[in-house]
Amino acid sequence: MNESDELPIEVSVEEVDALRKSGKDFILLDVREQQEYDTARIEGARLLPMSELRTRLGELESHRDDHIVVQCHHGGRSMQVTQALRGVGFTQVQNMAGGIDQWSLKVDPSIPRY
């Protein structure tokens, strides 16, 4: 895969919502901490806190070529994780811009904001 085949590094909450509704296969990776996940989460998201990424990276190894959308509270931590995963050879990783806060505002207002 060359540079021009790469997905854009960021994806909007609306694009992620459309992706979910389309039934396309992708992993929504939530990199917030457990207590944040317990407060508010997107259905189907897989929790892997950024603080545990180094020790748990092996859990993602079989998904190296899968589409992964990384999400956090506002988009900062998830961008760091997106760049880190791309840096170690994950080719289809994107950051969900604005995080779960934007998701709550624009897609699903039933998800609590904090």
Would you please indicate which residues are annotated as catalytic (active-site) residues?
Answer: 72
Cα–Cα distance list, 1 to 11, 12, 62, 69, 89 (Å): 20, 24, 18, 19, 11
3-state secondary structure of 70: strand
Q: Which helix (H) or strand (E) holds 80?
A: helix 76-87
What's the token pair of residue 46?
Answer: 């897989």
Distance, CA of 80 to CA of 83 (rounded, Å): 5
